[in-house]
Each structure stands twice: as structure tokens, then as C-alpha cells.
Homo-oligomer: A and B are copies of this chain.
């Protein structure tokens, strides 16, 4: 019965102006807080706009102002893996933050046979976006090179090898895994193996570097077979663990490049009859909710993905508003989240090691 109400279609400024007995120009200025409009008029216009549910046409406004308040985000090309759960969280935070400034988030995929830069180029040339956020950066990333010369605000979640001339927000991966190593060494571990990801990806490279540097600092041996690269999912983690268990000098702890890898490793270990958290320690990186539900709980270096998304959104917008300012380059720390998967090495193992190969 009372559903006759909102049946009105999208209302234009012309209708609103006629409704008010004002000119379109006046209405527009009233709505945009021009100083030379009577207070009373402003309020009257505001009220009517609210009542009629008027929202300026984004399309027309863009054309008139020549700006596009939309951030483009290109999903990483589908390579058989599932989308990083981390990305979904970032998108959520990003969209949330952008909405505060009335910006939009345009999500694009990469069609088969094309690459990300092509997609970004088309988005720019067709005027669909006024800025970019990119994630999952490689050490040398063509997207960054492209954006450098594209004359658009953009923010990188992560970094590249050379990263002094653009805005980025990254987790301090090296420090994170240095901290993780400190934690393990502090509990008495010496033989620590590393399950790393694709070393072309900057975060994987940095975590690996953090591991290696800390191993050197603490004089932990990185024995042949201790350092695995290219572990990109749970299945690969399983295989790597299977190999590690055959190692003549079995490690007492495993540092894993991501939680997904760590969880894969934990299952493989459990399957082999090894009690994680007692016979062997495992540390991951990400802080996925799943890590809290497994037994033992996963000790991990947690990063606040949603907050990262929000902060990155804040940065793009501010950069679009003040193009002259300096690039913000922000390093956040991952927080060591202690659960049951990492503990001091079991005594019997320590004993073994003592009377061992040497």
C-alpha cells in the first residue's frame, strides 16, 4: 500500500531546480557550498535535494570537472591458484575507505592473452579510473614502471626493488622474519628450515632475506635442503615437508612464508606422525583466521590486511587531492602472534642433536 513512495526515478538537477523555482546554476552552487549563496537558500536546496533523493549524476559531473574519482584495482592474473584471501580483505578496506571520500573502486580482471599493464592502460585511456592501487608486487614490476609514466596517483601495497619515487605501504617483511627467528632462537632452536614462496614476489624475497640475515646473525646453520623456494600453496608445502623429513639433520623449526604454506606443512607433519609444537615448531605469516582454529594454533606474524586496504585508500585519495605533496612511504610491522605451534625444542630432540652427527 505504502509502496507508491520511492517509485520516482532518478532525479536530475533540472527537476530539482524547477521544483524549487531556482536556476540550475544556483542549485548546483548551493549544493557545492559556494560562499556567495544565501544561507537560507542553501538549506532550502539541501532539504529539497534530500527529500527528492537527488544525487548529482556522476557521469555529468565527471565530464564537467574533468576528474574521475575512481580507483582501479586489477586482480592478479588467474594462475590456477585461488585468489589470495588477503586480497579480498584489502579490497574490503579499500572500498570502505574510498566511500568516505565518495570515491569508487573499479575491479578489473585480466583476460586470457593479455597482461595487467594492457588492462591498466585501457582503463586509463577510456577514462574509467583516476588512480590505481596495486598489490602483490614483484621485485621488478612492469606495472610500477608503467604507472610511473602514466601521470596518475597510485599507491603500491608492497614495494619493488627501487621504490623511492612513488607512494607505497608495506609490511616490514625482513624485520618480521627477523623477529620470528629471534623468537625461535630465543626458545633454543638452532636448526631452522625455511619454506619460501616465489622469489620474484617482493614480499617473498624480503621474508627470505629476513630469515637468512637472522640465521647468519644467530649463527644458525642453513644446511643444504633447509631453504625451499617456490612453495606457493598448501600442496607444495606438503611435498616440501616430505623432503625435509628425510633430511639427515632434521630441523626443529619451520619458518613459512605464508599461513597457507604453514597450514599445509602442519598437516603434512601431523600425517607423518610428528606432533607440531612439540617435536617441531612452525611459524607462518599473515594471521589468517584459520590459523586460530587448527590444533595447535598457528604462531604467525599477523598483518592487518583490512587496515592496510583502508590506509592505502586514504593515501590514493590524498594524493589525488594534493598532487604536489611528497610520496608517503609507510612501513608497518607485523605482529608476532603466539599460539601453540612454536615452542622450545623437545628435550629428546636436543639430546639426539647432542650425540648426533657432529
Interface set of A (CB-CB < 8 Å, partner B): 3, 6-7, 9-11, 53-60, 62-63, 68, 75, 78, 81-85, 87-89, 91-92, 95-96, 99-100, 104-109, 111, 121-122, 124-128, 149, 151, 233-235, 237-238, 260, 263-264, 267-268, 270-271, 288-290, 292-295, 306
Residue of B with least CB distance to A310: B109
Rounded to whole Å, the gap between the CB of A350 and the closest CB of chain B is 26
> 12 more A-B contacts (CB under 8 A) besides A83-B89, A85-B88, A99-B108?
A54-B125, A58-B127, A59-B62, A75-B95, A78-B306, A83-B91, A104-B106, A105-B106, A233-B293, A237-B293, A264-B293, A268-B295
- CA–CA, A88 to B78, complex, Å? 12
- CA–CA, A263 to B10, complex, Å? 47
Given the interface pairs A106-B105, A268-B295, the reply to whether A126 lies near B58 with Cβ below 8 Å is yes
- Asked whether, in the complex, the Cβ of A95 is within 8 Å of the Cβ of B82, the reply is no
For A235, the chain B residues whose CB sits under 8 A away are: 289, 292-293
Given the interface pairs A107-B105, A107-B107, the reply to whether A289 lies near B82 with Cβ below 8 Å is yes
Given the interface pairs A6-B149, A85-B83, the reply to whether A58 lies near B128 with Cβ below 8 Å is yes
Rounded to whole Å, the gap between the CB of A211 and the closest CB of chain B is 23
Rounded to whole Å, the gap between the CB of A224 and the closest CB of chain B is 26
